[in-house]
């Protein structure tokens, strides 16, 4: 369909008969082509610079060359030259940069955590993940250990069933604890009576953990072949455990989905030990790492 529409361009009266959906489709198609061509153009710039082709062709600078030929900003030019240099010992990342397969903006996000060991897998992730997820990944800063340890995902689970290397990040306790006035008052009173308030709270927390674990075990025992839909009881339990936040400790964003840390397609159950509420970014990270894990497992070697 799009091809025949494309051929009619420009100025065909039939254009006015396009539906909104068709018009939007054309916009997206042309837009995607422009962006792809632009990425490829930017990918060529390091080579242009090495040959000083811009001077040979009479441009004052590489920036002028990029601006005049493709409307590329000074910042983007500097970014690609800089990245190409940083990727000197990272051939996979260098290739996705210079071939224009991945944008400089995305690659700039992962450059900070790239090493010669993880660069191949980072290049795969950069192709798969949207920019925001890459930003989250870089912030978590655990890509290297996550990737190198993922063979052990099966036995290396934390309380949520998430692979430890990816999801166990040191807790940063920068938040101030907020207590209601009445609770503070009661605790203060107990402390004045000589009661060990910390021990008391520790005991309550321990009881909460034990309750959650017992409920989980009970629900896990009940999960036979179920529907795709996660039962309300299990959702309720997860909410009690994690509140409405992403279950990655340092994240703090709102959870948007409940992720099966064991592939649902394989496990066919909703064992709460293998479910974790995640924000959008951590969810796409979990899936691309999981995907790579499975691809690797299936490989003949
Ligand atoms: Zn998921
Ligand atoms: Zn998150």
Ligand 1 center to 227 CA (angstroms) = 16
> What is the reported pLDDT for 298?
43
Q: Which ligand approaches the C-alpha of residue 276 most closely?
A: 1
Ligand 2 mean position to 72 CA, how many Å?
A: 33
Distance from residue 274's CA to the centre of ligand 1 (Å): 11
Task: Please report the sign of the dihedral spanned by the C-alpha atoms of residue 69, residue 72, residue 74, residue 77.
Answer: negative
Q: How far apart are CA 144 and CA 150, in angstroms?
A: 10
pLDDT score for 10: 54
Contacts 24+ apart (CB under 8 A), 226-231: 226/268, 226/269, 226/270, 228/264, 230/258, 230/270, 230/275, 231/270
259: CA distance to ligand 1 center in Å? 4
- Span from the CA of 119 to the centroid of ligand 1 (angstroms): 25
Ligand nearest to the CA of 251: 2
- What pLDDT, on the 0 to 100 scale, is given for residue 159? 45
From ligand 2's centre to the CA of 4, what distance in Å? 44
Q: For residue 287, how far is its CA from the centre of ligand 1 (angstroms)?
A: 6
pTM beyond 0.85: the answer is no
* 265 Cα: distance to centroid of ligand 1 (angstroms): 11
Ligand nearest to the CA of 136: 2
* Length of the chain in terms of residues written: 301
* Distance (Å, whole) CA 262 – CA 269: 9
Please give the Cα distance from 201 to 216 (Å, whole number).
22
Residue 223 DSSP class: -
186 alpha carbon to ligand 2 midpoint, in Å?
35
pLDDT at 290: 63
Judged on CB neighbours under 10 Å (0-12, 13-18, 19+), 144 is middle
Q: How far is the centre of ligand 2, averaged over its atoms, from the C-alpha of 253 (Å)?
A: 6
User: How would you write the pLDDT of the chain (301 residues) with one tens digit per residue?
Assistant: 445 555 555 566 677 888 999 999 999 999 999 999 999 999 999 999 999 999 999 999 999 999 999 999 999 999 999 999 999 999 999 999 999 999 999 999 889 889 898 899 999 999 999 999 998 888 887 554 555 555 444 444 444 445 444 444 444 444 578 889 999 999 999 999 999 999 999 999 999 999 998 988 888 887 665 677 888 888 999 999 889 989 887 788 899 999 988 777 666 778 888 888 999 998 988 888 765 544 444 444 3
């Amino acid at each position: 369909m799009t091809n025949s529409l494309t051929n009619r361009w420009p100025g065909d009266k039939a254009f006015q008969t396009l539906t909104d959906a068709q018009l939007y489709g054309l916009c997206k198609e042309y837009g995607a082509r422009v962006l792809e061509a632009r990425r490829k153009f930017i990918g060529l710039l390091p080579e242009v610079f090495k040959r000083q082709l811009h001077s040979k062709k009479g441009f004052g600078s590489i920036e002028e060359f990029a601006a005049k030929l493709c409307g590329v900003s000074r910042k983007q030019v500097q970014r690609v030259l800089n990245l190409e240099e940083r990727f000197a010992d990272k051939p996979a990342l260098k290739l996705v940069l210079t071939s224009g397969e991945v944008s400089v903006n995305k690659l700039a996000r992962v450059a900070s955590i790239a090493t010669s060991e993880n660069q191949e897998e980072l290049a795969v992730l950069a192709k798969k993940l949207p920019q925001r997820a890459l930003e989250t990944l870089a912030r978590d800063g655990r890509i290297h250990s996550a990737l190198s340890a993922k063979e052990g995902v099966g036995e290396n689970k934390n309380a949520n069933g998430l692979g430890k290397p990816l999801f166990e990040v040191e807790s940063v306790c920068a938040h101030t604890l907020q207590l209601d006035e009445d609770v503070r008052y009661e605790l203060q009173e107990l402390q004045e009576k000589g009661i060990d308030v910390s021990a008391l709270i520790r005991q309550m927390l321990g009881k909460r953990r034990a309750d959650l674990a017992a409920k989980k075990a009970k629900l896990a025992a009940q999960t036979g072949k179920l529907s795709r839909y996660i039962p309300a009881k299990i959702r309720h339990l997860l909410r009690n455990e994690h509140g409405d936040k992403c279950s990655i400790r340092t994240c703090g964003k709102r959870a948007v989905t409940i992720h099966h840390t064991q592939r649902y397609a394989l496990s066919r159950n909703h064992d709460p030990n293998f479910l974790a509420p995640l924000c959008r970014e951590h969810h796409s990270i979990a899936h691309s790492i999981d995907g790579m894990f499975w691809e690797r497992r299936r490989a003949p070697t």
